[in-house]
Amino acid sequence: MLALHCLGTADGRVVLWAEDSARPDRRPGKAARDAVEHPFAVPGDELAERLGVAGMAATVRALLPSHPSAPVASPELVRDPLAVPARRAAR
């Protein structure tokens, strides 16, 4: 499952990025002093290709909710497939 995010920059650009629940948790073990790669982020080239805009990927820095060592996964990103509610017929 992908969680797609969007923001507008001060210079008027629209930036998209996505987190993938299938990516392994690769958070560094110690506190980071500088920007670190988001542990669940879809690589820019891969996301641009999925969105049909191949060749338009770029890297940006963003302030995100974080632990001392890495950004926190989005609440919308389901990391445990057992936590996804089953769909059942309703009347």
Per-residue pLDDT tens for 31-66?
Answer: 666 777 777 889 999 999 999 998 888 888 888 887
Can you point out the beta strands (E) in the chain? 2-8, 14-20
User: What are the boundaries of each domain within the chain?
Assistant: 1-91
Can you point out the beta strands (E) in 9-87? 14-20
Whether 9 shows a pLDDT value over 90: the answer reads no
Average pLDDT of 62-80? 75
pTM for the full model? 0.68
For residue 91, give Cα distances in angstroms to 37, 70, 87, 88. 45, 44, 13, 10
Q: Of 42, 53, 49, 52, nearest to 17 (Cα)?
A: 42
